[in-house]
Amino acid sequence: MFSLKRVANAYFCGRNFTNYMSNRTFTMIKPDATQKGYTGAILDQIIKAGFTVKAMKWTRLTEAQAGLFYEVHKERPFYGELVAFMSSGPIVAAILEKENAVADFRKLIGATNPAQAEEGTIRKLYAASVGENAVHGSDSDENAAIEGDFFFSKLERF
Ligand code: GDP
């Protein structure tokens, strides 16, 4: 079976592809937010919160790519909906740097369900629902590295 981790390992020929320090995280501005014109405001909030952009691209996932990215959720009832949504329009993918990046970024974006997100968080401000929730943020240093490697070559990060 394919998994994001296995594909990353195969692609990087077993080398240690985790060339981040633990002060990096990975984010996507999701199709709902790009299509509603929130990209600039969200990036502004991220930068004002002290994150530095180390890599960034405007792109669109195929269904197969979205399926692979979220394959950890493939047994969940919302998986099909999630894959369809994440391939429904353009996204912005980025690697961000800041001390304590993973935890601080999760705090900045707020709870998965915007109804439960704290005031002022990105999801509270810009997300419409638990599915269409404006932004992704890695949940661990290891996943930040794997997810960044999914989108960016070494030449594309600084
Ligand atoms: P996150 O780490 O806060 O992004 O949340 P999870 O890892 O639990 O879920 C990944 C993504 O799946 C979320 O950001 C949502 O886009 C989507 N998702 C989670 N729960 C649901 C749900 O109940 N319904 C739908 N449609 N999508 C969901």
- CATH 3.30.70.141, applies to 4-156: yes
The residue contributing the CA closest to ligand 1 atom 16 is 131
Percent of the chain with pLDDT over 70: 87
The residue contributing the CA closest to ligand 1 atom 6 is 112
CB of 90 within 6 A of ligand 1: the answer is: no
With a CB cutoff of 8 Å and minimum separation 6, the contacts of 30 are: 85, 86, 91, 132, 133, 134, 135, 136
**Ligand 1 nearest atom to the CA of residue 109, by list position:** 3
CB of 136 within 6 A of ligand 1: the answer is: yes
Distance CA(74)–CA(149), nearest Å, equals 21
Distance CA(67)–CA(78), nearest Å, equals 12
CB of 112 within 6 A of ligand 1: the answer is: yes
**Ligand 1 nearest atom to the CA of residue 131, by list position:** 27
Model-level pTM greater than 0.95? no
CB of 58 within 6 A of ligand 1: the answer is: no
| Tens of pLDDT, residues 135-154 | 999 999 999 999 999 999 99
- pLDDT less than 70: residues of the chain: 1-21
CA of 68 to the centre of ligand 1 (A): 15
Q: For CA atoms 125, 114, 5, 78, give the dihedral sign.
A: negative
Task: Report, as residue numbers or ranges, the catalytic residues.
Answer: 136
In angstroms, what is the C-alpha Rg of the chain?
Answer: 15
Question: Which pLDDT score, from 0 to 100, does residue 22 have?
Answer: 75
